[in-house]
Structure 1
Amino acid sequence: MYLPEKFERKMQDILGDEYQEYVDCYEAPRYYGLRVNTKKISVEDFVRICPFEIRPIPWIENGFYYDGAQISPAKHPYYAAGLYYLQEPSAMTPANRLPVEPGDRVLDVCAAPGGKATELGAKLQGQGVLVANDISSSRAKGLLKNIEMFGIGNVLVLSEEPGKLVEYFRGYFDKILIDAPCSGEGMFRKDKKMVKAWEEHGPEFFSKLQRSIITQAAEMLRPGGMLLYSTCTFDGLENEGTIGYLLEQYPEFTIEGIRPYEGFCAGMPGLWKKDIPDLKKTVRIFPHKMKGEGHYIALLRKNGEHEMMSGGSKKRPKKLAEELEAFLAQVDWEKAGIDFKREQLEFHGERVYYMPENLPDMAGIRFLRTGLLMGELKKNRFEPSQALAMCLNMDAYGDCISLPVDDDRVVRYLKGETLDVEDVTGMKKKGWHLFCVDGYPLGWGKLASGTLKNKYLPGWRWQS
């Protein structure tokens, strides 16, 4: 494989005697991974029902390898049910090593397409708030779909310059993840097109962006909070150099140790102009040492006294439409994992949202989604949303229709077809039903006389 001479010289300096081993790994096949959505299913239960062969990724508790040359997991109904996300194995590491706890306020600064954000949201288990941002509105649309498919409702999906977010979220977040735009050297083996992109925009170009993003994020982290910075490149300017620059500008930050794995390599302080021994606590992932692509990870803590911040107060509607009231009464919110409070409902036109608690005033920010879209009120008729369906489970909503994965009506539902379900509905009442595969929700349908009118979101439907 062609590698630019300048890149080869740099890697020889970084790797020394291991350089040839690194070059040889380009001849090996790439690795494919999937990550289990622990908000919806335990790892043990997923292994039990998984329809194809998988092998554990040893440093990711809910990560598995699969044979990407033989199978297509994205074409399986379990994928549509949000039970797993397809992600390169090394790329699972940043969100895995950021210690997010339920109730945290979490920011994913460069979140599209959602590989890290979906794991951060799953870790929250419906508590706290995930703010997922991407400056590209087109990429943010794909991010929103992945987050909703994963059943994450305590979320804000934004499309803003990180610098603008500082005005609204200064000192707000407990945890921040920055998977920074980078020169992509760690992905050369996986995607040969990355080499050409590197020649057009190399490390010098991206290091300026990275320094801007990480210092802006530093302003949004509360004292005592933690920030994880990652790239998929090997360059010292983009990696140790960015962390060194942050420490120069914000001396209140310190580098934390990262839970180890035998294949991890220590960061290289010698690649930064100043001697910072703690840079050895950061992690480098090389593809000749692990079954994954190249990555860099640094975990930092912002020291200082933490003061709890409250969000802005908003007027909430007190009286709800009767049909909305009736629908909400059908849901067992505790079993859905949602601490439901009526005052957190918001209305924007016909749309009904359930908002996370303690948010600042965010007027002026570009949103793709604010909170969980519950559904729409149309002439006092309430139509529940696809996002709400993905947040629920069979225990939380009584009117469900669940079919086994090998029933052809499951795929027909995903294609948007009307279904004859008289054999499984019996005397079920007409109206909104949660349609599931093996007990895991896919979306809504409206039942009448044994026929289920398909309400699966048109933009999500499978093509024949």
Structure 2
Amino acid sequence: MTDSDKIQTLPLPFLERMKEMLGDDYDAFLKSYKNPRTYGLRVNTAKLSCQDFQALSPFPIRPIPWINTGYFYEEESRPARCPYYQAGLYYLQEPSAMTPASRLPIEPGDFVLDLCAAPGGKATALGAALNDTGFLLANDISTSRTRALLRNLELFGMKNMLVTDEKPTKLAQRFPAFFNKILLDAPCSGEGMFRKEEALARDWTPEKSAELSDIQKDLVLKAADMLRPGGMLLYSTCTFSPCEDEEVVAYLLRQRPDMELMEMPGYEGFSSGRPEYAGTADTSDSEIALSLNAFNSEELQKCVRIFPHKMDGEGHFLALFRKKGDSLPPVFRFSEKGPDKNTRKWLEEFFSEVGLKTIGGQEFDWNRVEVRKDKVYYQLPFPLDLRGISFLRNGLYLGDLKKNRFEPSQPLALALHKGDVEAVISLPVSDERLTRYLKGETLMIEPEEAAHKKGWHLLCVDGYPLGFGKLVNGILKNKYPAGWRV
């Protein structure tokens, strides 16, 4: 498709509205559709520093100026084919889409909610910022999309996570005023992604934006109700539509007077929100009518709009809220139960064989071990009442109980850090055996390459875990799961 064809596929009502919105900037906006799309990756700082990744990267990268963990790469680099990707060292994400998670200030120990999290780009960023403190609840209403979300979080080595496929209404009932930080990257009409995904432009209608605006208003109220006093909520979309952006923000401020807009760390390419798009509210309720008098639409300038003619990325919208007041953290009573005697024995035998000392640099806590249908899990460090809540994962999946033995899982391998285990085989990223391992093949291992002569080993790329294998007579039997193979 030629550049002219790209512009011709854009819906006329969309173009007319953008011309009205942008005025003198409209021609520059239109020309941006002729520019090639940009490609980005975000470093998993829970596994390595950006400086370490810059030294390791086998392909050219350059920093994304408004994302301190993000880098541009060239399309032909194909970073998804590099073993570093399978080791969870980075996530591939459109540069502008990295912005929302980067503007939600995560503190160690925060309870964080990503309400519409699939496929996991923003959730992995939030989890990496937590760095195995507090916990992350990553939710998506679609079970199939939640499976992809779980896979990406496991690839990043996340342990303190709860992954749910639940309706926001039920979560709001179970977790009122519970989270320190919430990200709501709401389902939207996707106008900001028309250059990247032409199918979105073909399916777009003004009516869809209006329908989505109603959904977004409902979601943002539920998110606000799950936020603790003193906590922060970031609302974002990848659309330019005012009824999905400023109008939703104004709606929340009118309906919840305890919410206020905050300034975000800026960048020269950011554009301000537009007060004229505040929309209207139902004033039949006297409380809402009173709050209307206190609402100042000029506050909407604190929102951020990202336009493709001003930045190297696609379109986005962001608004950062704070709930007024202060609150104390919840108090939990953790039941010191732990696994039964046999389960602990088999786990200890495996830990001894591989020389496991810590998981992610943290001492192993036996009270967090739970067995469900012969699968062993490492639960969150505090109990949550999950009765009636549909979830795919609560904590870290450690592995499976077989006949008188324990077999480790792929998520356990990826949750480990350098120095966590002694039985390691580390190969350089250029070693073709890594590609063969990721395809499920057995490998020949030289005696000097393995920590032990036989038994379970953690195969690593330049010291970063990829997965497990079992060494027998110089041959590493591949234990990389079929569902993970390249």
Per-residue Cα deviation, 1:106-160 (whole angstroms, up to 9, x for no partner): 1111111110001100001111111111111111111111111111111111101
Partners of 1:426 and 1:269 in 2: how far apart?
63
Residue of structure 2 aligned with 1:323, choices 346, 370, 376: 346
Provide the rounded CA distance (Å) in 2 between the counterparts of 1:20 and 1:457: 51
Aligned-residue offset at 1:245: 0.8
CA deviation string 1:13-68 (max 9, x = no partner): 21111111101111111111111111111111111111111111100011111111
**What is the CA-CA distance between 1:320 and the residue it aligns to?**
3.7
- Aligned position for 1:40: 47
Aligned to 2:204: 198
Instruction: Provide structure 1 residue ranges, at least 5 long, that are not aligned to the other structure.
Output: none
Q: Are residue 12 (structure 1) and residue 19 (structure 2) matched? A: yes
Matched, 1:414 2:438: yes
**Residues 312 and 361, structure 1, Cα contact 8 Å, conserved in 2:** no
Contact 2:229 2:323 in 1 (8 A): yes
Structure 1, residues 424-457: CA drift from partner, whole Å, max 9, x if none?
A: 3467142211000111110000112211111011
Aligned to 1:243: 249
| Deviation string, structure 1 residues 215-272 (Cα, Å, up to 9, x no partner) | 1111111111110000000111111111111111111001010000000011101111
Change (3 A) 1:254 1:384: same
Q: Indicate how the Cα distance of structure 1 residues 201 and 67 shifts in structure 2: closer, same or farther if over 3 A, else same.
A: farther
Aligned 1:133-172 pairs, distance under 5 A:
133-172=139-178
Name the residue aligned to 2:298: 277
Find the residue that maps to 1:237 and give its secondary structure: helix
SS state at 2:244 partner: coil
- For 1:110 and 1:272, the matched residues in 2 are separated by 24
Structure 2 residue 189 is matched with structure 1 residue 189: no
Deviation (angstroms), 1:102: 2.0
Number of residues of Structure 1 aligned to a counterpart in Structure 2: 460
Do residues 354 (structure 1) and 378 (structure 2) align?
yes
CA-CA distance at 1:6 after TM superposition: 1.4
Q: Which residue, out of 314, 317, 332, partners 1:293?
A: 314
Q: Matched residue of 2:241: which SS?
A: coil
Mapped partners of 1:447, 1:201: distance in 2: 60
Aligned to 1:342: 366
Give the structure 1 partner of residue 358 of structure 2: 333
The one-letter amino acid paired with 1:417 is E
Q: 1:397-435 deviations in whole A, cap 9, x for unaligned?
A: 010001111111111110111111134346714221100
Inter-partner Cα distance in structure 2 for 1:67 and 1:427: 37
Q: 2:11, 2:202 within 8 Å by CA — same for their partners in 1?
A: no
Match of 1:303 among 310, 324, 348: 324
2:429: which partner in 1?
405
Aligned partners of 1:52, 1:168: CA distance in 2, in Å? 46
Q: Partner of 1:92 in structure 2? A: 98
1:323 and 1:150 mapped to 2: Cα distance?
27
State the TM-score, normalized to the length of structure 2: 0.92
Aligned residues with identical type, % of pairs: 52
The counterpart of 1:105, out of the listed 93, 99, 111, is: 111
Query: 2: distance between equivalents of 1:200 and 1:305?
Result: 41
Aligned to 1:390: 414
Contact 2:11 2:204 in 1 (8 A): no
Aligned counterparts, 1:438-457, within 5 A: 438-457=462-481
Partner of residue 66 from structure 2, selected from 59, 63, 79? 59
Matching residue of 1:379: 403
Q: 1:47 to 1:106 in 2, by over 3 A?
A: same
When normalised by structure 1's length, the TM-score is: 0.96
Q: Which runs of 5+ in 2 are unaligned?
A: 1-6, 281-295
Separation (CA, whole Å) in 2 of partners of 1:6 and 1:318: 61
Moved more, 199-208 or 172-181: 199-208
**Residue 460 of structure 1 pairs with residue 477 of structure 2:** no
> Which of 385, 390, 393 does residue 366 from structure 1 map onto?
390
Partners of 1:248 and 1:409 in 2: CA distance: 59
Which deviations, in whole Å up to 9, do the C-alpha atoms of 1:278-301 show, x marking residues without a partner? 111110000000000000000100
Distance in 2 between residues matched to 1:266 and 1:438, nearest whole Å:
44
Alignment RMSD, CA only? 1.6
Q: Is the 8 A contact 2:425 2:451 kept in 1?
A: no
